[in-house]
Amino acid sequence: MKTRLIVFTLTLLISCLGTGQARAGGHTADQLADAGFDCFNSGPSNWVHCMDLDKLISGKRSVPVKVFSEDGSEYLGTELLLHEDVYAGQPCPQDHLNLWSVVGGTPYLACHHFLTGHH
């Protein structure tokens, strides 16, 4: 039963995260902000990150993030924020990272699920 729950959870997570413009439903960051997401520019590339900020503030163990180009018009893919308490050294599959990136000032680590060009 526990294995089925884990498989179901992973399948659900992967399907929710998705990649590419088609999976984003053609939405822009402005449309997600209008729908109640918290969207802001962040990171070394100043991309727009859209998420439910309450999940981050309340300490949820994982928080999915939709990432857009700097002006918010182009959907780039997803990022997963994982709380340091549940991070177990698993590799980040993109950008050839062995470790997830530390999100400064928070107890979260980040892994992009698209090629960012940062190695």
Q: What pLDDT shows up at residue 98?
A: 66
Q: Which amino acid, 18? A: G
Q: What pLDDT shows up at residue 92?
A: 82
Mean per-residue pLDDT, 38-48 = 92
Q: Which of 14-18, 30-34, 84-88 has the lowest mean pLDDT?
A: 14-18
> Residue 107 in contact with residue 83, Cβ under 8 Å?
yes
Give the H/E segment covering residue 5.
helix 2-17
> Residue 118 in contact with residue 101, Cβ under 8 Å?
no
Q: What pLDDT shows up at residue 118?
A: 54
Mean per-residue pLDDT, 87-99 = 76
Banded model confidence at residue 95, pLDDT cuts 50, 70, 90: low
What does residue 115 show for φ and ψ, rounded to 5 degrees?
A: -75, 120
* pTM exceeds cut of 0.75: no
CA trace torsion 85, 89, 93, 95 (10° rounding): 100
Starting at the earlier edge strand, list the strands of the sheet with 47-51.
38-42, 47-51, 62-68, 75-83, 108-112, 101-102
Give the H/E segment covering residue 112.
strand 108-112
